Amino acid sequence: MSGVEEQVAALEQMDLHQLRAEWDLRFGAPPTARSAKMVRLALAWRIQAQALGGLSREMRDALARTGRVVAEGQDLGAGATLRRTWDGVEHVVTVQEGSFDWNGRRFRSLSGVATAIAGTRWNGRRFFGLRS
């Protein structure tokens, strides 16, 4: 096993606190993610990228050409209204510039709204019938 492989394998034994400490030691302020799995994956990628060079120039250029990532549902345009009846109550969501408004609350993602309405994790596009 190479040194990089050993370093990445060692991450599997670390909890979230240890992963953040490792990140801080290597790269500075750790991400604010609260998922050990996500921090572990990001840290593994950073370790490998540092050792092996990261993304090629061609890949960076290809990613730059794809454009800005837009939150799900934002492609509907500001002012669009989504309706969903859940447990006998009609819920109305308005697409804002960069967010979604439901019951006077703002959400960064449509999935966040769906989860707040249903009380359990949902894909926003599926919940509002925008995807099968």
Q: Is the pLDDT of residue 69 over 80?
A: no
Instruction: Tell me: do 50 and 81 sit in the same domain.
Output: no
Domain count within the chain = 2
Q: 3-state DSSP call for residue 117?
A: helix
User: If we measure between CA atoms, which residue out of 115, 116, 88 comes closest to residue 104?
Assistant: 116
Two tokens at 131?
A: 């995807």
Q: Is the pLDDT of residue 88 over 90?
A: yes
Asked if residues 85 and 124 have their Cβ atoms less than 8 Å apart, the reply is no
Instruction: Tell me: do 104 and 87 sit in the same domain.
Output: yes
Q: What is the extent of the structural domain holding 23?
A: 3-65
Q: Is the pLDDT of residue 70 over 90?
A: no
Q: Is the pLDDT of residue 26 over 80?
A: yes
Average pLDDT, whole number, for the chain? 90
| Residue 132 within any structural domain of the chain | no
Instruction: Tell me: do 79 and 122 sit in the same domain.
Output: yes
| Residue 105 within any structural domain of the chain | yes
Q: 3-state DSSP call for residue 114?
A: helix
Q: Is the pLDDT of residue 101 over 80?
A: yes
Two tokens at 1?
A: 């096993």
pLDDT, position 34: 86
Instruction: Tell me: do 27 and 78 sit in the same domain.
Output: no
Q: What is the mean pLDDT of residues 8-30?
A: 95
Q: What is the mean pLDDT of residues 66-83?
A: 77
Q: Is the pLDDT of residue 113 over 80?
A: yes
Instruction: Tell me: do 13 and 54 sit in the same domain.
Output: yes
pLDDT, position 1: 73
Over pLDDT 70: what percentage of the chain?
95
- Of the three residues 48, 65, 82, the one that is the final residue of a domain is 65
| Residue 91 within any structural domain of the chain | yes
Cα separation of 42 and 27, whole Å?
A: 12
